[in-house]
Amino acid sequence: MAALPGGTLGLDAGIRLSPVPVKGDAADPAHLDWNARALRRILSDFRPDLVHIEEPPGTQAAAALASAARRLRIPYVVFSSESLQRRRGLFEGRRYRRTLAEAAGVVGGSQRATGLLAEAAPAALRTMLPQFGVTPAPAVPRTDLRPGIRLGFMGRLVPERGGEILLRAVAALMGAWTLTIVGTGPEQEALEALAQRLGLASRIRWLGGIPMSELGPVWEEIDCLVVPSQDTPTWVDRSNPMLLEAMSRSIAPVVTRAGALPEIVGDTGIVVDDRDSLVSALQELLADPARVRLMGERARQRVLQELVDSAVAARTLAFWEQVLARSRQPGVA
């Protein structure tokens, strides 16, 4: 069963959809006011074995659903991808603490998110899982082992995404390389000027913003996707759909040790700490096309085995079963 704001009652691929009256602006879902009585009625009528909450734990929706589950003595699990500590208002902080303190299980979208949940819910079972699985794209054939490497960067052109780090790194490479940059943003003019000063203009293609659905031809022209994100006090890379898409297409990933990026690539790509280590990594790949192809193949296998919808669903179900088994033990509330 899925409880959704508004809508109509129905079934979707075997899932019962239960509409819940809400107040507020639909364009600002985090601040919608869900009807607590309707949530309690849905749970009371349906009597699920477990409730899974995907609204942020400090929201009114999460608190109302958690309260309804507690009143009916139904164990509940809370998901969050929030990866930074932040100050909360009085009411939000109270909802956040109460919702998590009595959760039977917590699921973090990254290691950082899981750690924050564990601090607020020390007694709950916990695991790390992506919120959504990936629909795998067709693999891009990569049988040629020509010299050089075709690099790609995809993302908004802002300082946190590390565009300057990447340009200064490729400027130090020796050998044949090209760089395709997809994205726009406030840093674009500064990056284009930097590329000119570094003498890189002839090797870089600036494609601007392209919808993900139209990136097919671009993926075919990239051997390695570089994601040089940088953590800041107010931002971390919690997930990266472009990185996952590239991996599913057998494109080798090179990422910085920032946010959830190392967790996404696992042992299939290269994780670097700074510009110097990025230069070294790219130089090694430039000299070894066969390694680039192998990394891409391993990255696709990781997606197929661990990150597609069916794999994430199976891991989620296994965690739910673990939570239920524990909640049914004598003495466990």
Task: Please report, rounded to a whole number, the percentage of residues in the chain having pLDDT higher than 70.
Answer: 92
Evaluate if residue 78 carries a pLDDT over 70: yes
Q: What is the mean pLDDT of residues 288-310?
A: 94
Q: What is the mean pLDDT of residues 264-280?
A: 97
Q: What is the mean pLDDT of residues 84-101?
A: 93
Q: What is the mean pLDDT of residues 277-287?
A: 97
2-133+309-327 and 149-307: same fold?
yes
Q: What is the mean pLDDT of residues 71-83?
A: 95
pLDDT score at 80: 96
Q: What is the pLDDT of residues 199-217, one digit of tens each?
A: 999 999 999 999 988 999 9
Q: What is the pLDDT of residues 158-169, one digit of tens each?
A: 999 999 999 999
Q: Per-residue confidence at 185, pLDDT binned at 50, 70, 90?
A: very high
Evaluate if residue 6 carries a pLDDT over 70: no
Evaluate if residue 112 carries a pLDDT over 70: yes
CA dist., res. 320 & res. 174, Å (int): 51
Enclosing H/E stretch for 12: strand 10-12
Taking Cα atoms as reference points, which of 222, 215, 268, 208 lies closest to residue 241? 215
Evaluate if residue 254 carries a pLDDT over 70: yes
Q: Per-residue confidence at 325, pLDDT binned at 50, 70, 90?
A: very high
Structurally, at CATH architecture level, domain 2-133+309-327 sits in 3-Layer(aba) Sandwich (3.40)
Torsion angle (degrees, nearest 10) of CA 133, 134, 135, 137 = -170
Evaluate if residue 197 carries a pLDDT over 90: yes
CA dist., res. 232 & res. 234, Å (int): 5
Q: What is the pLDDT of residues 229-253, one digit of tens each?
A: 999 999 999 889 999 999 999 999 9
Domain ranges of the chain: 2-133+309-327, 149-307
Burial (CB < 10 A; 0-12, 13-18, 19+), residue 273, is exposed
The DSSP code sequence of 213-268 is GG-HHHHTT-SEEEE----BTTB-----HHHHHHHHTTPEEEEES-TTHHHHHTTS
Enclosing H/E stretch for 52: strand 51-53
Evaluate if residue 99 carries a pLDDT over 60: yes
CB 148 within 8 A of CB 175: yes
Q: What is the pLDDT of residues 13-33, one digit of tens each?
A: 567 777 888 888 877 777 778
* pTM for the full predicted model: 0.87
Structurally, at CATH architecture level, domain 149-307 sits in 3-Layer(aba) Sandwich (3.40)
Torsion angle (degrees, nearest 10) of CA 279, 284, 288, 293 = -70
pLDDT score at 11: 57
pLDDT score at 20: 84
Q: Per-residue confidence at 38, pLDDT binned at 50, 70, 90?
A: confident
Q: Per-residue confidence at 12, pLDDT binned at 50, 70, 90?
A: low
Beta bridge partners of 271: 255
pLDDT score at 140: 66
